[in-house]
Amino acid sequence: MQKFSAWSLIREAFGGHRGWTTQWRRAAPKPGYDAVIVGGGGHGLGAAYYLAAEHGLTNIAVVEKGWIGGGNTGRNTTILRSNYLFDESARLYDHALKMWRDLSQVLNYNVMYSPRGVLMLAHTVHDIQVIGRHIHANRGNGVDNEWLTPEQAKAFCPILNIERNIRYPVLGAALQRRGGTARHDTVAWGYARAADALGVDIIENCEVTGIRRDSRGAVEGLETTRGPIRTRKVGVAASGHTSVVLGYAGIRLPLESYPLQALVSEPVKPLMPCVVMSNTIHAYMSQSDKGELVIGAGTDAYNSYTQRGALHINMHTLEAICELFPMVRRLKMLRNWGGIVDCTPDRSPIIARTEVPGLYVNCGWGTGGFKATPGSAHLFAWTIAHDEPHPINAPFTIERFRDGLLIDEAAAAAVAH
């Protein structure tokens, strides 16, 4: 009879993830690969998985400066939705939302996708108008979204305070029923395990420190803290640090990096059946399957690469949360943390080729790229494999900032920027 150690049983219970024990196939990179992805977050690991699974590229590697999922993929508040305003965004985010539905089956790893519904609250006449515009635009694009009265919103989320005498009363809400949550770190682990099974090398503790180019200017390799790697194709998905990495190839991007924070309460019995977001009073909350209330705060007002933010931002968020959900007032907060998000001027991402042959970039997701992970990874892999964008990501170029073809989704974001 096969014997199992307690540790192996625990590992199997969580899907047999090998990264915890750093048992990936290789600790250091091979001298050369057909393609290398920089960044072991969901977007990078997912791109590697789709390159192998859908484009037959298996002599590839993901290089990660820390541990996989240790960046924003493992730090976000897990909200999934596709209720963006513009046609280009609706196509992009709905492509991703549809992929979440089957992701656990595709990866054979439970990413705990839970379409529990996302409520976006309106507190002012302006909110009602903006949200109304979003609902109509979404429906025109085949994306579900519906208007709820305050009473209907409370029926959907019974702990919501709809008293009229509060500072920002709830005047109504948009509900995207297909929106919801997934467990963030399983996405990194699931893609990593599936990519590894297809032969992809996952190299942790390997920071890219330079990009080598040949006499024509095309990519010919990478410098890393674990030695040089030869490759003709490099895909960068290094959220928060993209400008640093592309700077190695002399490319400047219109990106700014900010800390964004979140916090969780002590675990309690189920009390919150959905996600509630309020852009105006600047707070959002859901409940994890462990029972913790997951609360998101805003971005700091200054640029930084520190993975923590200012305390007063959290205090402001908690004031708003206590007003919206008075019954959580006496809960203790267990942890808070931050991540570094990179934001473009129009708050839409870039998934594109760069001016350097063989160099591709996936960045600019700002505060909202977790929801896009499967779609973004899928389209990024396509772009790298075909050396041209898929029709869905074709508008998300770098050149749009030169040509003025912006996709201005600032109002679709959950948090202040």
> Which of ligand PYC, ligand FAD, none does 208 bind, CB closer than 5 to 8 A by kind?
ligand FAD
Handedness of CA 348, 349, 352, 354 (dihedral sign): positive
Select the span of 18-26, 32-40, 314-322, 393-401 touching ligand FAD (CB under 6 A). Answer: 32-40
- HSE toward the beta carbon, residue 39, CA cutoff 13 A: 27
Beta strand residue intervals within 193-281, DSSP E = 201-203, 208-213, 219-224, 229-230, 234-236, 256-265, 275-278
Closer residue to ligand PYC in complex, CB, 55/417: 417
Between residue 370 and residue 399, which ones bind ligand PYC under the rule CB under 6 A? none
User: In this structure, what are the phi and psi dihedrals at residue 381, rounded to the nearest 5 degrees?
Assistant: -60, -45
> Does 375 contact ligand FAD by CB under 6 A?
no
DSSP 165: T
> Which of ligand FAD, ligand PYC, none does 199 bind, CB closer than 5 to 8 A by kind?
none
- Using CB under 6 A as the criterion, what x/- string covers residues 157-176 for binding ligand FAD? --------------------
> Which of ligand PYC, ligand FAD, none does 112 bind, CB closer than 5 to 8 A by kind?
none
User: How many Å apart are CA 25 and CA 34, to the nearest integer?
Assistant: 17
Select the span of 5-13, 128-136, 213-221, 235-243 touching ligand FAD (CB under 6 A). Answer: 235-243
> Does 272 contact ligand FAD by CB under 6 A?
no
- Using CB under 6 A as the criterion, what x/- string covers residues 46-85 for binding ligand PYC? -------------------------------x-x-x----
> Which of ligand PYC, ligand FAD, none does 72 bind, CB closer than 5 to 8 A by kind?
ligand FAD
**31 token code pair:** 């001298």
Taking each continuous run of H as one helix and of E as one strand, the counts in the chain are: 10, 19
DSSP string, 347-384: S--EEEE-SSTTEEEEE-BTT--STTHHHHHHHHHHHH
> Which of ligand FAD, ligand PYC, none does 245 bind, CB closer than 5 to 8 A by kind?
ligand FAD
> Does 240 contact ligand FAD by CB under 6 A?
yes
Q: C-beta of 90: minimal distance to ligand FAD in Å?
A: 15
User: How many Å apart are CA 16 and CA 4, to the nearest integer?
Assistant: 13
User: How many Å apart are CA 214 and CA 409, to the nearest integer?
Assistant: 38
Handedness of CA 224, 229, 230, 236 (dihedral sign): negative
Taking CB under 6 A as the criterion, the residue among 71, 180, 296, 339 binding ligand PYC is: 296
DSSP three-state, residue 125: helix
User: Which stretches of the chain bind ligand FAD, using CB under 6 A?
Assistant: 38-44, 63-66, 70-73, 75-79, 207-208, 237-241, 245, 260-262, 296, 339, 341, 365, 367-371
